[in-house]
Amino acid sequence: MKVSSIFCALALALSVSQSALAQTNMKISISVAQNSHQGVAIDTFAKEVETRTKGRYKIQTFYSGSLGGERESIEAVQLGTQELAFSSTGPVPNFVPEARILDIPFLFSDKAHARAVLDGPIGQELLGKFDSKGFKALAWGENGVRHMTNSKRAVNAPDDLKGLKMRTMENPVHVAAYKGFGIITTPMAFPEVFTALQQGTVDGQENPLSVIMAAKFDQVQKHLSLTGHVYSPAIFLMNKANFDKLSVEDKGHFLEAAKVAVKANRARVDEDDTKGVAELRSKGMSVVENVDKGKFVSALSPVYAEFEKQFGKPNIDRIRNFK
């Protein structure tokens, strides 16, 4: 073999080994199944990051709480033991208290209103609040509009909720609101919920249709009521130190990948909301579609007064009245 050929071969081998070394692996996790609105979010994100960075960054995806529940995953991202997570805002106020305001019941008129708020100046201001807590918040995604399920009785009005033992997210705003309905609240990490429902530790839970279907709650819950009591955002979180290490170009790639993933995530929520009731009925659930939302809002009047003290009425009105 000619000397020049040997050098070429060595150079090629060196370049291959360097490119292999140059690939950085990162983890991202969700607490629900891959075949879900959240699975679509992280799968799309992983594909977009790898494509945009030409394979220099590979995102490993983990589902069904295999790396822990949402709170544990967010803690891991904050500590830097995990690079990324996609989570509902359930446990987020424990890390970034300013995000609590988004979890007020009946704050948004519908999904379009919520998306406009999150994608606009209010949502962007809130994303900035994560920087000082060890996170880079890449984008707001969507968990969906939350509804009530239980194994005991049909829920048509707030009085039907009194005395029901319900799993709630580890979120102080949700807990305060549901106590206002007379619910016996039981905060619990999501991976524990199916077994708790199955064993009767709790009577019910509340989640968007996307989550109810992905988690197969129809197997352990008889009654579904479309209360639509809370719009539940989701969020792409990255460890701040990991984000800061990226080049300016790669920071842009990660942020753009999150935006594309959010579009896919929201489209799946819309699809699930369109077909969800029929699908859950076909699996044996009894569904109350038309609840009197006015009664639910009225039942929370004392709690709303407390929220206005906590968050300031102008801040709540700014979101409610956003166009």
134-148 pLDDT tens trace: 999 999 999 999 999
Mean model confidence pLDDT for the chain? 94
Q: Is the pLDDT of residue 50 over 50?
A: yes
Tell me, yes or no, if the pTM score tops 0.85. Answer: yes
Which 3 state secondary structure label does DSSP give 31?
coil
pLDDT at 299: 95
According to DSSP, the residues that pair with 223 across neighbouring strands are: 150, 286
Give the count of domains, the chain: 1
Nearest 5°: phi and psi at 15? -65, -35
Give the dihedral sign, CA 235/66/151/199. Answer: negative
- Going from the C-alpha of 245 to that of each of 25, 83, 239, 248, the distances in angstroms are 14, 12, 10, 9
Nearest 5°: phi and psi at 291? -95, 155
End-to-end CA distance of the chain: 72
Give the domain CATH number at 214: 3.40.190.170
Give the other-Cβ count within 10 Å of 286's Cβ.
13
Mean pLDDT of 231-243: 98
Q: pLDDT band at 20, cuts 50/70/90?
A: very low
- Tokens standing for residue 64: 């069904």
Q: pLDDT band at 284, cuts 50/70/90?
A: very high
pLDDT tens, 197-230?
Answer: 999 999 999 999 999 999 999 999 999 999 999 9
The residue type of 126 is L
Q: Is the pLDDT of residue 15 over 70?
A: no
Among 232, 226, 233, 32, which residue's Cα sits nearest to residue 148?
Answer: 226
Q: pLDDT band at 170, cuts 50/70/90?
A: confident
**Lowest-pLDDT choice from 20-34, 143-157, 248-262, 268-282:** 20-34
Alpha carbon 172 to chain centroid distance?
16
Mean pLDDT of 33-50: 98
Q: pLDDT band at 33, cuts 50/70/90?
A: very high
211 within 8 A of 32, measured Cβ to Cβ = yes
173 within 8 A of 133, measured Cβ to Cβ = no
Q: Write out the residue range of the structural domain in which residue 264 sits.
A: 3-320
- 136 CB-near residues (< 8 Å, 6+ apart): 130, 237, 238, 239, 240, 242, 243, 244
